[in-house]
Homo-oligomer: A and B are copies of this chain.
């Protein structure tokens, strides 16, 4: 099998439509933003994290609340919250020994609305 980058062995379509490919390259997102975007969507692409964010869109919750709600260990929830924190999807406030988590901004809710429109129509 030829290498994917070896244009000589590709289908004729490649040559005919080379301009289309060049256009896509010109307008492509920078690699870094592509990776960041993928990270955000991937974070939303897991049912557990999705439920966490959906719950936090309604009310702030602490780790053990979320664990009870999700019927998961607090450890599992904590791992997921770290990921969501790193992507600035959630933030927390400390109240004594308890950390209350909330959505960090309104973007998550907007993403939910748009994606729900898509699957419902």
Contact = CB atoms under 8 A, between A and B. Distances in A.
Interface of A: 1, 4-5, 7, 10-11, 13-14, 17-18, 20-21, 23-25, 27-29, 33-47, 50-51, 54-55, 58-59, 61-62, 64-65, 67-74, 88, 98, 105, 107, 110-112, 114-119, 121
20 contacts: A4-B68, A20-B59, A23-B58, A27-B54, A28-B51, A33-B119, A34-B47, A35-B47, A37-B44, A37-B116, A38-B44, A38-B45, A40-B119, A42-B42, A43-B45, A105-B118, A107-B114, A107-B115, A107-B117, A107-B118
A86 B23 CA distance: 27
**Which label, helix, strand, loop or mixed, suits the secondary structure of the A interface?**
helix
Contacts of A34: 47, 50-51, 54
A37 B115 contact: yes
A23 to B, nearest CB: 6
B115 A64 contact: no
B45 A44 contact: yes
Given A23-B59, A59-B24, A37 B50 contact: yes
